[in-house]
A and B are shown apart, each in its own frame.
Chain A
Amino acid sequence: GAGVSQTPSNKVTEKGKYVELRCDPISGHTALYWYRQSLGQGPEFLIYFQGTGAADDSGLPNDRFFAVRPEGSVSTLKIQRTERGDSAVYLCASSLTPVSTNEQFFGPGTRLTVL
């Protein structure tokens, strides 16, 4: 079956603009995670959804970042008033359930560049 997909694959924007990044998880996966990966670093946790609700958004760096998952499937990460420091690869991952050791499957990421 299809894996996790993310769109766009690349996004270039200007400082101060608004961007939306989309994640399509594997069908049936109830848990969805967003991460940010800067060059040479490991993925940094941003937010975790269980179903439609954000169960843990403690990783969002500030109130310019927001994410939704209205129907419990597709999720959108929204960044307002982008800053150059927001430039990174944004990864989405999904898993069947969040508990135990269910494997997280990562998407290919969206490379965001803020000029």
Chain B
Amino acid sequence: GENVEQHPSTLSVQEGDSAVIKCTYSDSASNYFPWYKQELGKRPQLIIDIRSNVGEKKDQRIAVTLNKTAKHFSLHITETQPEDSAVYFCAARGGITGNQFYFGTGTSLTVIP
């Protein structure tokens, strides 16, 4: 099955700096890659996603890049703010039916004011 690895597990940045989180996946058939933000004790919320036929997508301060050949995708947050502090999860959709979501182990981002 699919295996999603995520790095780093923790990340601290100064407010205003950029943060980059990277994920790799193993199943070349995976075709959809969402990113979720989870605040402590709350549910995961989708912040951005990308399909396999697109190399990059941007939404204000957040961008995601996908390299299908290398099987890796990254989340980029620019001009970080304290409210960006949370755990971020990447995911890849694949599996036997193509409808399983495999999640990374998460990155705990702390933005220092």
Contacts and interface: CB of A to CB of B under 8 A. Distances in A.
Interface string A35-69: 10000111111001010000110110000000000
A62 B12 CA distance: 39
Contacts of A106: 43-45
B20 interface: no
Nearest to B6: A42
Given A101-B32, A101-B51, A103-B49, A43 B100 contact: no
A46 to B, nearest CB: 10
A45 B105 contact: no
B99 A43 contact: no
Given A91-B43, A101-B51, A103-B46, A45 B32 contact: no
B103 A42 contact: yes
A107 interface: yes
B57 to A, nearest CB: 11
Interface in B15-67: 32, 34, 42-46, 49, 51
Contacts, number: 63
B96 A58 contact: yes
A43 B44 CA distance: 9
Given A45-B100, A91-B44, A103-B46, A56 B106 contact: no
Interface residues of B, number: 24
A55 B96 CA distance: 10
Contact of B106 (A41, A45, A108): A41
Nearest to B90: A42
A56 B102 CA distance: 13
Interface of A: 31, 33, 35, 40-45, 48, 50, 55-56, 58-59, 91, 98, 100-101, 103-104, 106-109
Given A43-B44, A45-B102, A101-B32, 14 more contacts: A33-B101, A40-B105, A41-B105, A42-B6, A42-B105, A43-B89, A43-B103, A45-B100, A45-B101, A48-B99, A56-B97, A56-B99, A100-B32, A103-B49
5 tightest CB-CB pairs across the interface, nearest first?
A42-B103, A106-B43, A56-B97, A42-B89, A98-B99
